[in-house]
């Protein structure tokens, strides 16, 4: 029996081995597009080191984890809620791979964003909204009025189950991806960082 190549290449969603996100209210500083007046806050801004090589970026992120600006969530499924223009957007933050692990070797600082397949969106949205009722790991509002909140999934199996069969056929492999259940929106670099294996 011949196996369809599209079936063989089907993407799997999995927890990210080393996911780093801003801690507490640091999210607004981390993603700020404009320089900040306070030197201590400016040192947190991802754009200051966005042009460095991935290995150097990873080193900066690890240093910011030590300083409490970022927090590392090993093997965690994250739920992201973005409020922009008064509209809420919900996404599962996962690794996407045609293999079981999806582990990458270098830092990935800009997530792939995609929309779940239409027939899976309602179930995924219900799972994500349920997770977003708990205390967030981070919560910050930018000067532009966009609010980013992240929640460690209490039921990662439920979120991954809602994603099963819900990824588009053309979904790319990604060490960090935001799979939206309602409407896809761009995520600023540095908000969701996948580090390679230590």
Domain residue ranges of the chain, discontinuous segments joined by +:
5-194
This prediction's pTM: 0.89
Using one digit for the tens of pLDDT, what is the confidence trace for 41-53? 998 999 999 999 8
What percentage of the chain carries pLDDT values higher than 70? Answer: 90
- Mean pLDDT computed over 73-99: 93
168's enclosing H/E stretch is: none
The answer, yes or no, to whether residue 40 has pLDDT greater than 70, is yes
Cα separation, 96 vs 175, in Å, equals 6
Confidence of residue 54 (pLDDT cuts 50, 70, 90): confident
DSSP annotation of 47 reads G
């Amino acid at each position: 029996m011949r196996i369809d190549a599209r079936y063989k290449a089907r993407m799997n969603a999995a927890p990210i081995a080393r996911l780093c996100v801003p801690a507490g209210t640091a999210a607004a500083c981390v993603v700020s597009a404009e320089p900040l007046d306070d030197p201590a806050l400016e040192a947190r801004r991802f754009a200051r080191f966005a042009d460095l090589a991935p290995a150097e970026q990873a080193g900066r992120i690890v240093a910011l984890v030590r300083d409490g600006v970022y927090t590392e969530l090993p093997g965690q499924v994250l739920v992201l809620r973005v409020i922009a223009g008064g509209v809420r957007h919900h996404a599962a933050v996962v690794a996407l791979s045609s293999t079981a692990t999806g582990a990458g070797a270098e830092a990935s600082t800009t997530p792939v964003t995609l929309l779940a397949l239409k027939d899976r969106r309602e179930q995924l949205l219900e799972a994500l909204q349920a997770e977003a009722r708990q205390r967030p790991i981070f919560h910050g509002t930018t000067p532009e009025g966009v609010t980013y909140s992240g929640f460690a999934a209490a039921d990662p199996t439920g979120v991954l189950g809602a994603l099963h069969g819900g990824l588009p056929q053309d979904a790319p492999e990604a060490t960090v991806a935001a799979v939206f259940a309602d409407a896809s929106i761009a995520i600023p670099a540095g908000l969701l960082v996948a580090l390679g294996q230590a």
